[in-house]
Chains A and B, each alone.
Chain A
Amino acid sequence: MRNYAFAIMLVCSNLAVSQNCKHTLSGKVLDLHDGSILSGATLVVAETESISQTSIDGDYTILGLCENITYSIRILHSSCETKTFYVKISEDTQRDFKLEHHLEELNEIILEGKAYENNTNTTLENNVSKETLERYSTGALGDALNSLSGVSSLNKGNGIVKPIVNGLHSSRIIMVNNGVRMQDQEWGAEHAPNIDINSVGRLTLVKSASALQYGGDAMGGVIIAEALKVPVKDSLYGKTMASLTSNGRGGVLTSELTKSHSNGWYGTVQGSIKRFGDFEAADYILSNTGLIEQNVSLRLGLNKFNYGIEGYFSFFSSKIGILRASHLHGAADQVRAFESNTPLIINDFTYNIGAPRQNVKHQLARIKGFKTFENFGTLSLQYDYQQNNRLEFDIRRGDDRDKAAMDLELNTHTLLLDYENDFEHKLDLKSGLMARYQNNFANPNTGVRRLIPDYDKYELGIYLLGNYALNDRWLLEAGARFDYTHLDVYKFYRTSFWEDRNYDVLYPNIVVEDLGTQVLANPNLKFHNASATAGLKYTFKDNYKLFLNYALASRTPNPSELFSEGLHHSGARIELGDLSFNSEVGHKVSATIQRDHDTFSFSINPYVNTISDFIIIEPTKILETIRGNFQVWEYRQTNAQLLGVDIDAAYKFTDKLNFTHQLSIVKGYDRSRNLPLISMPPVSTKNEISFEHPKFHNLKLALQSEYVFAQNEYPDNNFKVYVPETETTELLDISSTPSAYHLLNFNSSIDFEITKTSLLTVGLGITNILKTSYRNYLNLQRFYADDLGRNFLLNLKFKY
């Protein structure tokens, strides 16, 4: 009713009617997301006060429109956001209008890999469906993302899962959680994203840096996790899900409840608990790989037609055990571990999590408000605060036994001001400003030299993004962003390293204090980064789309690349950063051809990513210490190039029988040295045959085959180590890649209606049915143990 009132108010700005007024405007009203027709939508022409409705086929016709007048047409639909479109009439015009769907999202099932234009328009976005997210309820966010083509994951065991997008990971991927860019020490290879998979309603992946509103440094891509929208109506709904797994002998309990009001107020509370003991490979227990995760999130908001405010808070806490047998001192210990086919330490199953382990807590608070101004657009302002506390426990001696070896606290405050225009349907504009302050505090009480130093970071960013619809078929997009970063760092350097790197000559002025064996330095680093995007989308033959996009990304080196200097226990190696690094600059060109069809759909997405000053870490020498010999890995900048293609295809044999196929290929090269890049995902293909019987309790059965080839291109970083016990020099093979493997997975679900408004879904899944013993090139644990064995999963979901 409120909207009608508003529409009538608009009528006050009436226009004089003259000249030729016999034109008609006709077309369809469609859902913005999937193009489905919206029947029963009301179109109000403000200037003429005329009202018309769409037919059952979504068609409308408005008669008696005058030449050379721009009409404002307000479209209302019970399950959509009301929107005003402006149409200039010069003849009989055909126009389709698209509305943003609201209510139906609650029960929505997005098809995997289906386009959902929201964050960018000229790169294909991939979505992980709610169904898939629920299926991975016991896993990590990275596991669910792994189901998309072009995505793999960098693992440390099975608890730490980092997404790799088109060959890139960590700082090269932006993770956005409910509109907040995650600041959770994402640079480290063993730092998993701190997002509870069960709190995510929609997960979107943009495989390029073109979503400039989130940052200009997404060399690999942007991952966006959001909660589902809440309808503006009186309602109370929720779900509770319990999952049990045989592997790890644990499970997850998660629950969510939403209350909404027709006056726009809404609130959601969600929580989950995850608990697992030691996981198992096909033939043995992976000792000390248990995990505990506890999460709570709260959301409270007011959603009015032209303004709104929302507060969001989430607390994420995890305790993840690291395979005991992977903790080693020095290269000679590595030789022993590598020679053994099984982990050197295998204990009985336990729920206890000893050292080594990580305890991470992440808190996120966000407040966002928006206001829409007629004939101007929407302004929104967001402030968010994040605190990340990371404790890493090692195997230690004496009084330090129970003390963390690493204790970092990262506090981040961000202020965002965004503007989105609303007045011209053909040109969509988005722009914004970002200010961020970050402080890292490395607790000195650990008794271990700081791996990451104390720093203050100040960032400012500004962006402008726009897309212009030439006509129904062609859409152009362009954008630019500028970021300024200032790092104010206090770091203790070992004098030996300081002089070895010639820093005493290069940076004599930044020394604050000379302690003999150590030097306290205060580097102040400034980075100016430009990023941009340009692209087009062409729709042809009704169900074909072509996306073409170029993205320029610039990334400030992360603290680990700049300041690492010391032993990294988890890799049994010494890592050295470089103070003199400048920003990485990437140029990614990607194309996608997509066919969206009932029986046969596909998308083919080739890309080339050329990155100058790409920062890689590689072994350079062996260092003798009193603890034995250690490998030294040094960061260096080079020119890199990644090429690849992602293919998705789906074929419907009958209404009930589906086949889907996925293929991901990526190749990475160091162009300066003409070598392959390390840790590039091997070629992989997934094929699934699924059977659906909606009439019989919505029965779903799926059998999936996953084949991962051996990575045949890798740099040779092997080196020789003298082992005193045997008086021999052994080759430590850290480069060779594991052989190809094939996994077979089964998944099923069936629905039971309990009452009119509640539904019970029972799911049964088996992963690694054949109990294949395999090692994954992208799992840092692969040197010491096999990957996971068979797992039975039982999933009960109660929706109410």
Chain B
Amino acid sequence: MKKSIFLIPLLILALIFTGCSDDDTTPEPVNEEELITTMTVTLSPVGGGTDVVLKTVDMDGDGGEDPVVTISGGNLTAGTTYDGTIELLNETETPAEDITEEVEEEADEHQFFYIIGTGLNVTTNYEDEDGDGNPIGVEFTLVANAASSGDLTFTLRHEPNKSAAGVATGDITNAGGETDITETFSITIE
């Protein structure tokens, strides 16, 4: 009678082992929904001309391969004002997922910053705003003032403090939050 007690767990284990050992289904790959693989900054000269396109692509996300940075459409022209738009994509999905839409949906929690490196003579201006009247930065204007060259960094912050000093005018110093994307481009103005 008492010995039968010991058989119960043995039976349970036997069931488990047989139940699981035939399980040969392979796991499915994870859809990386939030991943940003591509940032394209398009600068269109006001009044017409060739677009200058700044692009960075990092297909393996946090993986070992460095992002590929390209600038097409030549150098910027001094004295020209450019309409700028930023597009974010997740190209691991087909068709590519437009992350810019997500950013705009949560406009109050996102802001782009344009960080102008030493030597580069440009000025930027936000051309869009969230529900609170604060900038988002997906759309902007860039004025190429005089012939010069230097770095231009585009940084997207998630959950920045938009009411902190200087943040609404594009100063990243007090913005806080986390960096969702950041890329530095070497720009030349002729």
Chain A interface (Cβ < 8 Å from any Cβ of B): 307, 309, 327-330, 332-333, 336, 344-345, 367, 369, 371, 381-383, 395-400, 413, 415, 435, 437, 439, 442, 444, 446-450, 453-454, 456, 490, 492, 494-497, 500, 512-513, 515, 517-518, 520, 522, 566-567, 574, 623-628, 630, 724-725, 727
Give chain A residues whose Cβ lies under 8 Å from the Cβ of B117: 724, 727
Asked whether, in the complex, the Cβ of A500 is within 8 Å of the Cβ of B64, the reply is yes
Asked whether, in the complex, the Cβ of A437 is within 8 Å of the Cβ of B20, the reply is yes
Asked whether, in the complex, the Cβ of B27 is within 8 Å of the Cβ of A454, the reply is yes
Asked whether, in the complex, the Cβ of A398 is within 8 Å of the Cβ of B9, the reply is no
A576: nearest residue on chain B (CB-CB)? B64
Give Cα distance in the complex from A332 to B115, angstroms.
Answer: 14
B25: nearest residue on chain A (CB-CB)? A490
Asked whether, in the complex, the Cβ of B36 is within 8 Å of the Cβ of A626, the reply is yes
B56 interfacial by beta-carbon distance below 8 Å: yes
| Given A383-B9, A437-B17, CB of A447 within 8 Å of CB of B30 | yes
B156: nearest residue on chain A (CB-CB)? A627
Give Cα distance in the complex from A628 to B181, angstroms.
Answer: 7
Give chain A residues whose Cβ lies under 8 Å from the Cβ of B180: 329, 397, 627
Give chain A residues whose Cβ lies under 8 Å from the Cβ of B181: 626-628
Give Cα distance in the complex from A32 to B103, angstroms.
Answer: 69
Task: Determine which of B26, B159, B183 lies in contact with A520 in the assembled complex, contact meaning CB atoms within 8 Å.
Answer: B26
Task: Determine which of A454, A496, A500, A725 lies in contact with B115 in the assembled complex, contact meaning CB atoms within 8 Å.
Answer: A725
Contact mask for chain B residues 1-45; partner A; CB cutoff 8 A; 1 contact, 0 none: 010011011101100110010010011111111101101000000
Give chain A residues whose Cβ lies under 8 Å from the Cβ of B190: none
| Given A328-B178, A398-B34, A628-B182, CB of A413 within 8 Å of CB of B13 | yes
Asked whether, in the complex, the Cβ of B13 is within 8 Å of the Cβ of A439, the reply is no
Asked whether, in the complex, the Cβ of B102 is within 8 Å of the Cβ of A327, the reply is no
Given contacts A327-B178, A415-B9, 5 further A-B contacts (CB under 8 A): A397-B102, A444-B28, A448-B30, A626-B183, A724-B151
B132 interfacial by beta-carbon distance below 8 Å: no
B59 interfacial by beta-carbon distance below 8 Å: yes
State the Cβ distance, B111 to closest chain A Cβ, in Å: 13
Asked whether, in the complex, the Cβ of B28 is within 8 Å of the Cβ of A725, the reply is no
| Given A369-B6, A400-B33, A624-B66, CB of A490 within 8 Å of CB of B27 | yes
B15: nearest residue on chain A (CB-CB)? A413
Asked whether, in the complex, the Cβ of B60 is within 8 Å of the Cβ of A494, the reply is yes
B80 interfacial by beta-carbon distance below 8 Å: no
Give chain B residues whose Cβ lies under 8 Å from the Cβ of A382: 9
B121 interfacial by beta-carbon distance below 8 Å: no
B158 interfacial by beta-carbon distance below 8 Å: yes
Give chain B residues whose Cβ lies under 8 Å from the Cβ of A442: 27
Contact mask for chain B residues 176-190; partner A; CB cutoff 8 A; 1 contact, 0 none: 101111111000000
Task: Determine which of A329, A449, A496, A724 lies in contact with B30 in the assembled complex, contact meaning CB atoms within 8 Å.
Answer: A449
Give chain B residues whose Cβ lies under 8 Å from the Cβ of A624: 66-67
B153 interfacial by beta-carbon distance below 8 Å: yes
Give Cα distance in the complex from A163 to B126, angstroms.
Answer: 51
Most chain B beta carbons < 10 A, residue from A332, A395, A494, A627: A627
Asked whether, in the complex, the Cβ of A626 is within 8 Å of the Cβ of B159, the reply is no
Give Cα distance in the complex from A609 to B88, angstroms.
Answer: 52
What are 17 A-B contacts with C-beta separation under 8 Å? A336-B176, A369-B5, A382-B9, A396-B34, A397-B34, A398-B106, A439-B20, A444-B30, A492-B30, A496-B65, A520-B29, A566-B62, A566-B63, A625-B66, A625-B67, A628-B179, A724-B115
State the Cβ distance, B163 to closest chain A Cβ, in Å: 14
Give chain A residues whose Cβ lies under 8 Å from the Cβ of B184: 724
Task: Determine which of A369, A437, A625 lies in contact with B16 in the assembled complex, contact meaning CB atoms within 8 Å.
Answer: A437
Chain B interface (Cβ < 8 Å from any Cβ of A): 2, 5-6, 8-10, 12-13, 16-17, 20, 23, 26-34, 36-37, 39, 56-67, 92, 102-103, 105-106, 109, 113, 115, 117-118, 151, 153, 155, 158-159, 172-173, 176, 178-184
Give Cα distance in the complex from A399 to B31, angstroms.
Answer: 13
B16: nearest residue on chain A (CB-CB)? A413
Task: Determine which of B8, B29, B63, B105 lies in contact with A515 in the assembled complex, contact meaning CB atoms within 8 Å.
Answer: B29
- A-B CB contacts (within 8 Å), total count: 166
B184: nearest residue on chain A (CB-CB)? A724
Give chain A residues whose Cβ lies under 8 Å from the Cβ of B105: 398
| Given A397-B34, A574-B62, CB of A444 within 8 Å of CB of B178 | no
Asked whether, in the complex, the Cβ of B182 is within 8 Å of the Cβ of A494, the reply is no
Give chain A residues whose Cβ lies under 8 Å from the Cβ of B172: 725
Smallest CB-CB A-B distances: 5 pairs: A383-B9, A447-B33, A626-B58, A724-B153, A398-B102
Asked whether, in the complex, the Cβ of A494 is within 8 Å of the Cβ of B63, the reply is yes
State the Cβ distance, A391 to closest chain B Cβ, in Å: 16
State the Cβ distance, B186 to closest chain A Cβ, in Å: 12
Most chain A beta carbons < 10 A, residue from B10, B37, B61: B61
Task: Determine which of A330, A336, A397, A435 lies in contact with B106 in the assembled complex, contact meaning CB atoms within 8 Å.
Answer: A397
Give chain B residues whose Cβ lies under 8 Å from the Cβ of A439: 20
Give Cα distance in the complex from A574 to B31, angstroms.
Answer: 19
Asked whether, in the complex, the Cβ of B34 is within 8 Å of the Cβ of A400, the reply is yes
Give chain A residues whose Cβ lies under 8 Å from the Cβ of B20: 437, 439, 456
Most chain A beta carbons < 10 A, residue from B36, B59, B64, B155: B64
Most chain B beta carbons < 10 A, residue from A448, A496, A724: A724
| Given A627-B179, A724-B182, CB of A496 within 8 Å of CB of B151 | no
Give chain B residues whose Cβ lies under 8 Å from the Cβ of A371: 2
State the Cβ distance, B68 to closest chain A Cβ, in Å: 10
B101: nearest residue on chain A (CB-CB)? A398
State the Cβ distance, B141 to closest chain A Cβ, in Å: 21
Give chain A residues whose Cβ lies under 8 Å from the Cβ of B28: 444
| Given A328-B178, A415-B13, CB of A497 within 8 Å of CB of B63 | yes
State the Cβ distance, A627 to closest chain B Cβ, in Å: 6
Asked whether, in the complex, the Cβ of A367 is within 8 Å of the Cβ of B60, the reply is no
Asked whether, in the complex, the Cβ of A332 is within 8 Å of the Cβ of B182, the reply is yes
State the Cβ distance, A1 to closest chain B Cβ, in Å: 22
| Given A332-B179, A369-B5, A381-B9, CB of A447 within 8 Å of CB of B32 | yes
Task: Determine which of B13, B34, B63 lies in contact with A435 in the assembled complex, contact meaning CB atoms within 8 Å.
Answer: B13
Give Cα distance in the complex from A500 to B60, angstroms.
Answer: 13
Give Cα distance in the complex from A488 to B173, angstroms.
Answer: 49
State the Cβ distance, B34 to closest chain A Cβ, in Å: 6
Asked whether, in the complex, the Cβ of B33 is within 8 Å of the Cβ of A399, the reply is yes
Give Cα distance in the complex from A628 to B67, angstroms.
Answer: 10
A490: nearest residue on chain B (CB-CB)? B27
Asked whether, in the complex, the Cβ of A395 is within 8 Å of the Cβ of B159, the reply is yes
Asked whether, in the complex, the Cβ of B31 is within 8 Å of the Cβ of A627, the reply is no
Task: Determine which of B26, B32, B34, B67 lies in contact with A626 in the assembled complex, contact meaning CB atoms within 8 Å.
Answer: B67
Asked whether, in the complex, the Cβ of A496 is within 8 Å of the Cβ of B179, the reply is no
State the Cβ distance, B88 to closest chain A Cβ, in Å: 10
A520: nearest residue on chain B (CB-CB)? B26
A340: nearest residue on chain B (CB-CB)? B176
B182: nearest residue on chain A (CB-CB)? A628
Asked whether, in the complex, the Cβ of A626 is within 8 Å of the Cβ of B29, the reply is no
Give Cα distance in the complex from A446 to B30, angstroms.
Answer: 8
Give chain B residues whose Cβ lies under 8 Å from the Cβ of A567: 62
B92: nearest residue on chain A (CB-CB)? A517
| Given A490-B27, A725-B172, CB of A307 within 8 Å of CB of B2 | yes
B65: nearest residue on chain A (CB-CB)? A496
State the Cβ distance, B136 to closest chain A Cβ, in Å: 14
Give chain A residues whose Cβ lies under 8 Å from the Cβ of B106: 397-398
| Given A381-B9, A400-B34, CB of A725 within 8 Å of CB of B173 | yes
Task: Determine which of A332, A448, A496 lies in contact with B63 in the assembled complex, contact meaning CB atoms within 8 Å.
Answer: A496
Give chain B residues whose Cβ lies under 8 Å from the Cβ of A329: 158, 178-180
Give chain B residues whose Cβ lies under 8 Å from the Cβ of A345: 176
Asked whether, in the complex, the Cβ of A447 is within 8 Å of the Cβ of B34, the reply is yes
Give Cα distance in the complex from A307 to B3, angstroms.
Answer: 11
| Given A309-B5, A625-B61, CB of A448 within 8 Å of CB of B32 | yes
Asked whether, in the complex, the Cβ of A444 is within 8 Å of the Cβ of B27, the reply is yes
| Given A397-B34, A513-B26, CB of A630 within 8 Å of CB of B9 | no
